Amino acid sequence: MSNPTHPRSRTCPVARPAGLLAPALVAALVLTGCSGGADSRPPGSKGTQAAPAPTPTWAAVTGKPRVIPAVRDFSPADGRGWRPSGGARIVVPAGKKSTLADEAQLMAQDLGGLTVVWGAKTVRPGDIEVKLTGKAGAERPDNAAARSTADESYTLTARGSRLTLTAPTDAGIFYGTRTVKQAVHAAGGLPEGTIKDRPDRPQRGMSLDNARKPFSADWIENRIKEIGDLKLNQFQLHFSDDQGFRIQSDTHPEIVSADHLTKDQVRRLIKVARSRHISVVPEIDSPGHLGAVLEHYPDLVLRNAQGRPVRGAIDISNPKSAQLIDSLLREYAALFTNPKGADAYWHLGGDEYQALMSSDPEAAFPQLARAAREKYGSGATIEDLATGWLNDREKTVKAAGKNRIEAWNDGFFSDGKVTADKDRTVDYWTGKEIGKRDPAAFLREGRNVMNFNDEYLYYVLGEPNQFTYPTGERIYRSWTPRVLRGTSPVDAPAGQTGPDRIPGARFAIWCDLSHAQTPQQVAAGIRLPLAALSQKTWNPGTPTMSWQAFKALADQV
């Protein structure tokens, strides 16, 4: 951009070659008249006072804002709306050191290289003004994860050729910038009027199995940016399983697979996620799915009564097992950092422990039954021992600073002597396991239940075990956050199924048959399901747009 303190010609500069811009943005810039600039002076003027910037002209933006997810409320007004124009700026009154700086700079980049100006500047025709409402947002750590949907709300007003974006926090500002970016891509700009928007569910995201199939750091970073543009705010990373352990380890380097992420790569991914207000949820699954670790610790592998090893299962009756897993939990809790004051997530796993998938666990694994009775008294079962195992692992990660703890639903048991910690979120994925429990039972217990419904939200490579690749259309048409299992809403009172009890959902990519798809095919296959998930977790009502129109819009934004 030209220096705004120097005179320049009346032609409108574009900061980047048109070939690098989205077609709709190029069209918007071509349609707009020159905004000139406050530095332009009438011919022959000898004064130093800048002349007012002329109002840019452009073809009116009509209809509703075209974005995914659809905005919750739009009040139209008479006018041309707003389009990015040559000479347009992003004005940030709070200054370059404010928590809004990175959001403003990202939006400037997304819109083709607009200039960002800081401090109390006059908002000129064509400009975007970005500011926080109230003091609460300014007091939060920069890029802190939202604590509620109110933190993620924003207001966008297109009026008189200017655009104003306000929000209580920088998280809300970020989502407003995503609306601007998408609207420009899809329709060239925003129609005249006011958008008031906020999500329905506070937790919305994607889970990636990077253990069975290694994905590159670049591929993961691109997915993080993709879900950020869709206003999803969580990224779960399952990096340890039977087939691989995929992050560098300093305490146990022997367990790390050849194809893995370095800690520096993980730190960059965390930084990128944080800049998009996405919380990273690390997962080291235990006491099952530990094959890659146990390959180097054969003395800790669970064995049945006949002495046969059980792949992936650790012997939770052996005190050395807890020592090993706790050392890993402490190491990676220190790697996956969070902004000061922000919620810090950790996923304990807890699913598919093979000892509990036996028809007679006590007979098949007598050492576990004996350890349960020794630790918890007469009548204690292997389920109690497994519950105690997760409770102890939760204490480890809490001591390391994590305060939002999750586990898979088949790691929770009823009517035992030992109860799962009350604050542990149930990640409900299946109702097919032995001793399966209806998700309503967890809600009645007062637990929060995160939706991972494997009927709609499980993308399992190779489609084993009767899985089929989920489609965006099916999610869009028939799934809601209340559909926790199967295809029907959970049978629970409305007071138990709101955002405070079912906080949201994640779409999960599992790589059971890792070579069934390339990373590029996975990215293509999950694109529309992620868009549909974004829509259904942001806006609780029945979509007003047809699936065909939604799909076409997803191709534009």
Backbone angles phi, psi at 439, to 5 degrees: -60, -25
353 in Cβ contact with 321 (< 8 Å) = no
472 in Cβ contact with 171 (< 8 Å) = no
Strand, coil or helix: what is 557? coil
103 belongs to the catalytic site:
no
- As given in the structure block, the two tokens for residue 130 are 């970005």
Alpha helix stretches (DSSP H) within 122-216: 136-139, 170-187
208 in Cβ contact with 121 (< 8 Å) = no
185 in Cβ contact with 24 (< 8 Å) = yes
Residues whose CB is less than 8 angstroms from the CB of residue 306 and which lie 6 or more positions away in sequence, other chains included: none
CA 367 to chain centre: 41
Q: Which of 103, 352, 383, 406 is the catalytic position?
A: 352
Q: How far is CA 51 from CA 35, 163, 553, in A?
A: 12, 21, 41
**Spatial separation of the C-alpha atoms in residues 488 and 245, rounded to whole Å:** 36
78 in Cβ contact with 115 (< 8 Å) = no
Instruction: Classify each residue of 412-426 as buried b or exposed e, where b means 16 or more C-beta atoms within 10 Å of its C-beta.
Output: bbeebbbebeeebbb
- As given in the structure block, the two tokens for residue 421 are 């910690």
314 in Cβ contact with 321 (< 8 Å) = yes
Query: Catalytic positions, please?
Result: 352
